[in-house]
Amino acid sequence: MWLIQIALVLMLIGGGWSILSRGKVTRTREALTMRRVDAYIETIRRERTNRELVAMSDSELRDLLHASAHNYRQALLRRGWILLGAGAVTLFSAIVIASQDGWRGFGITMAVGAVVAYGLSEFLARRARLPLEKHGIEVERLTVD
């Protein structure tokens, strides 16, 4: 019982630290994203491979690329939460099935859940890239880790 209490206290401390340091991380990520956007604009102007992007003014292109990077990051965050939910549902289902069928049922349920989660992850990743690729934007140039 005391081990669970220690784990909860550590989770609260970690969560509080995350909330307090979120602003600094966000500002740093935003600055890096804007530097990448500016570098990508220079690349688009230099290479002139995509006529639609070359025809845009710098401010239009900056707005499009920044919004695209933001939307892509939000889609990846949404994907992470969906996969976390899928993992929780898989684990809960595996525990319920294990109570009736034992370790074999637990293993089968976890394997099926892993396959479903992988498929869901791939689907959501492709769906997040689709709007950017439709405009001819290279996703790797805008991503910030």
Distance of alpha carbon 37 from alpha carbon 141, whole angstroms: 8
Query: What ranges make up the beta strands (E) of the chain?
Result: none
Give the amino acid at 87.
G
d(CA 63, CA 41): 11
Q: What is the pLDDT of residues 88-100, one digit of tens each?
A: 999 889 888 988 9
Residue 15 lies in a domain: no
Is the residue at 14 inside a domain?
Answer: no
- pLDDT tens across 123-139, in order? 999 999 998 888 888 88
d(CA 80, CA 16): 20
- pLDDT, tens only, 2-31: 666 777 777 778 767 676 666 666 788 888
Number of domains in the chain: 1
| Cα–Cα distance measured from residue 87 to residue 106, given in angstroms and rounded to the nearest whole number | 14
Burial class of residue 122 (count of CB atoms within 10 Å of its CB; 0-12, 13-18, 19+)? exposed
For residue 11, being part of any structural domain is answered with no
- Domain boundaries, position 75: 23-141
Highest mean pLDDT among 31-35, 44-48, 123-127: 123-127
* Choice between 71 and 20, residue whose per-residue pLDDT is larger: 71
